A = this chain, B = another copy of it.
């Protein structure tokens, strides 16, 4: 490995030059006019992966943007097969006027590279290519069997990826999936994300009277659908922040002692957190720390609400309709389809007879977890220690990456989320950036990781 690390150290300048070239391609996947640019980014990857020494490099066309595939399968049958997944498309750049430099003219300042896609996710997938290249150039081989897929539609919901994975099960078959599309918990703290929350996103539509009424003539006579909806929302949680839907917690795995110890180790400054959010007091489920509440406990939030008159001034309407979008973040082993049914049953149970209610499930995603004490996670810990010289931490991410479940269901493979971004990288916002020190240390870490993974007995 020391030759490989030396190779990485001596090629930093070239990596940066190549990264700038890659980040200059405006591969915005939701913009019809950028279709050719997205394709160009795929072709750039194809060329780079060929140069790196990867084999069977292929650009798969889809109904949308292409998927770039490559592999190197010469490590032998007793070595793990690792699928590297990432995405080369990027978010839109609006509002453009808030960018200090143009989003596709990468600029280095204070050890950070500023460009759309630098952290999410072009910078991070490029690191994998360089980690693999270092092995291939120095050792003329890879310690594990590697398969790579980079998609161009992650920012538009991976609309064609699921079908691709399902169609190409044989091609993609792997023991593990490695994804570098998350952040470290904080600066200088290499981190392993071992769990993601799932999602159950519902809509509730309430109908009171069959038409908008005058609140003077009818107020007091009939139920107001907004008041009824507010009452129902109130009945979703008790005053300790516990969700009251019957059976909601039935399948929730208790946090283990080890997990809670790991959460307690994570640096967290409540005052800074409150100041950043501009709130005087935090709020959440009693009996859990804020970190546990935002990452490892299920939650319920109203994402939207509407009804009646929303304009300036006064309008004395007693409206016919009101509605809300309500979502729940789920944790293992909650199932979004089951939770959707429990939610609907509960809402229908608590709805007063004076209104009509319609409950619709809009979106669902399963929670996922990769147990901490598994060889692939332990290998990641070792690699991070070597790459960063620091003991890494474990954490769970409160959001969802639905594709992780697809990999589990279609390929039977757990995902290891090894991300090198930082929480303040402004992904999805103006002035997206990526710290070059994490970029370089990350390449070494990934090179170590392929090596550590090779020690796992299959």
Taking beta carbons and an 8 Å cutoff, which residues of A are in contact with B?
Answer: 197, 199, 201, 208-211, 213-224, 226-227, 229-231, 233-234, 236-237, 273, 277-285, 290, 293-294, 297, 299-310, 313-319, 322, 324-325, 327, 329, 352-355, 362-363, 397-400
Known: A219-B299, A281-B353, A305-B308. 14 other contacts (CB 8 A): A199-B216, A209-B277, A209-B278, A211-B277, A216-B397, A217-B398, A221-B283, A222-B284, A226-B324, A230-B230, A301-B318, A305-B306, A313-B362, A313-B363
Of B220, B230, B233, B290, the contact of A293 (CB 8 Å cutoff): B220
Shortest A203–chain B CB gap in Å is 8
Complex-state Cα separation, A297 to B216, whole angstroms: 11
Q: Which of B210, B217, B305, B400 contacts A307 (CB 8 A)?
A: B305
A314-B398 Cα distance, complex, nearest whole Å = 17
- Report the 8 A-B pairs with minimum CB-CB distance, sorted nearest first: A216-B399, A210-B278, A304-B308, A226-B302, A220-B293, A230-B233, A223-B283, A220-B299
Bound Cα distance A213, B301 (Å): 11
Contact of A220 among B199, B230, B398, B400 (CB under 8 A): B398
Q: For residue A309, which residue of chain B has the nearest CB?
A: B304
Indicate if the CB atoms of A216 and B398 lie closer than 8 Å. yes
Are A304 and B310 in contact (CB-based, < 8 A)?
yes
24 contacts between A and B (CB under 8 A): A199-B216, A210-B279, A211-B278, A216-B329, A216-B399, A218-B277, A219-B294, A219-B398, A220-B398, A222-B282, A222-B283, A222-B284, A223-B281, A223-B282, A226-B302, A226-B305, A230-B231, A280-B354, A304-B309, A304-B310, A304-B319, A305-B308, A306-B307, A313-B363
Complex interface: chain B residues within 8 A of A285 (CB): 220
Instruction: Verify A325–B309 contact, CB threshold 8 A.
Output: yes
Q: How far does the alpha carbon of A236 sit from the alpha carbon of B329 in the complex, in Å?
A: 29
Residues of B contacting A213 with CB < 8 Å?
Answer: 277
Q: Is the Cβ of B220 less than 8 Å from the Cβ of A297?
A: yes
A237 touches which one: B227, B317, B324 (CB < 8 A)?
B227
Question: How far, in angstroms, from A438 to B302 measured CA to CA in the complex?
Answer: 52
Q: A352: which B residues are within 8 A, CB to CB?
A: 281, 283
Known: A294-B218, A308-B302. A234 touches B237 (CB 8 A): no
Decide: B304 and A209 in contact? CB cutoff 8 A.
no
A321 to chain B, nearest CB (A): 11
The reply to whether B279 and A222 contact each other, CB–CB distance below 8 Å, is yes
In the assembled complex, the Cα of A313 lies from the Cα of B325 at a distance in Å of 9
Q: Which residues of B contact A279 (CB under 8 A)?
A: 208-210, 222-223, 354-355
CA distance A306 to B300 in the complex (A): 18
Chain B residues closer than 8 Å to A234, beta-carbon distance: 230-231, 233-234
